[in-house]
Amino acid sequence: MTFFNETEFKLFYLEKFPGLRTYIFAKCNDFDFAEDIAQEAFVRLWNNISKVEKEKARSFVFTVGNNLFLDHVRHQKVKNNYNSNFVLQQDNMDPQFLIELDEFRKKLEDTIQRMPESSRVVFLMNRMEKMTYQEIAQNLQLSVKAIEKRMQKALEIMATLKLHK
């Protein structure tokens, strides 16, 4: 097993970064986003430099890059579903109700954002994507027990959401 030293990592980065960026760009057609994803993949490689063998580094950054892209797509889908669920016919609604609804929506969004990322992802996959714990576990490559614990944490945080002032 051989691992990178700092100089080898720099050379690897210079050689492989353009290819990874192009790979992500082909998926999203957004150069800046593709560059951000590629950079994050290399940051994660650097953070795991003592665990990833040189021979597996290319596969690592491409897998991480692809997973980051897919996470972003899933997050966008959840956001779009969430936003579309709140499209309202405002013609016949009481203005006070609309104000309270907007305040509640802000509280809900703030509460979800306060969750640790791991709990938030599980919560949104279950509640918005209607995925089972088993499906989430497979998707995130975790045990069902880990998903249950993350969901419990998310639900504890959601319980702090006050419906009235």
Residue 163 lies in a domain: no
CA distance 22 to 34: 7
pLDDT less than 70: residues of the chain:
83-93, 162-165
Residue 80 lies in a domain: no
Give the pLDDT score at 36.
95
Give the pLDDT score at 164.
45
CA distance 65 to 42: 9
The three-point CA angle 137-53-60 to 5° equals 45
111 and 137 inside one domain: yes
Per the structure, how many domains does the chain have?
A: 2
By residue count, the chain amounts to 165
**pLDDT per residue over 21-49, tens digit each?**
998 988 888 899 999 999 999 999 999 98
pTM above 0.85, yes or no: no
Backbone φ and ψ of 8, nearest 5°: -65, -40
Q: Kindly report the CATH number assigned to the domain that includes residue 134.
A: 1.10.10.10
104 and 57 inside one domain: no
Give the pLDDT score at 98.
78
Q: Which residue range forms the structural domain that includes residue 24?
A: 6-74
Q: Kindly report the CATH number assigned to the domain that includes residue 55.
A: 1.10.1740
